[in-house]
Structure 1
C-alpha cells in the first residue's frame, strides 16, 4: 500500500471538502409556510439569508412565532440534507481503497 499516495489523496480530499463548504455558502434553499405567508431563504451551510413575513402574520405574535419555528426548522432540515449529500460525495470520492474500509461506499 502506497502510504504517501494515500496521504496525498487525503490532503486533496480535505481541500475539496473546504472548497465544497465555501461553495455551499452560495447554495440557497427556500422554504415557505404551507400557506405562503412566511418565506425563509437559507444557505446550504445553514445561514439564514432572508425572511419575508406577510402583513397578515404581523397581527398575531403567537402565530408568527409558531410559523418562524416551524419554517426555519424545515429550512434547516432541507439545507442539512443538501450539505450532507454534497460533503458525503466529496468524502466518498476521496477515500482510498483500503480493504475492509468500505463503510463510505
Structure 2
C-alpha cells in the first residue's frame, strides 16, 4: 500500500512538471534560415510564425518562386529547431523513467 501512495505522489509530481514543461515550451522561440540568411522565420514553441525577415535583394519579379521556396525552407528549419528543443526538454524531465521507445511526451 505504501508503494501505491508513493507512486500516486510521483504521478502528481510528474503531472505538475509536465504542466511547467508545456508552459516553457510554449514560450520557446526558434529562428530558421534559408538562402544563406536571405530569409529568416521565427516560430514559437507552438509552431506559430512569430516573425519573417526577407532580404530586400530578393524582391524581383523573376525570383518569386525562389522566395517562396526559401520561406518554406526557413520555416522548416525553425520547426526542426523547436522540435529538437522540445525533445531535449522532455528528455531532461523524463530522465531515468522507464518510458517505452517512440512514446511522445508531453501527452
What is the TM-score normalised by the length of structure 2? 0.77
Report how many residues are paired.
98
Gaps of 5+ in 2: 102-107
Alpha-carbon RMSD across the aligned residues, in angstroms, is 2.1
CA contact (8 A) 1:46 1:80 kept: no
Query: Is 1:63 matched with 2:66?
Result: yes
Aligned CA distance change for structure 1 residues 63 and 102 (closer, same or farther; 3 Å): closer
Residue in structure 2 matched with residue 9 of structure 1 by the alignment: 10
CA contact (8 A) 1:29 1:75 kept: yes
Superposition pairs for residues 30-49 of structure 1, below 5 Å?
30-49=31-50
Gaps of 5+ in 1: 96-100
Taking CA–CA contacts closer than 8 Å with sequence separation of 6 or more, which of the two structures ends up with the larger relative contact order?
A: 1
Runs of 4+ residues over 3 Å off in structure 1: 101-104
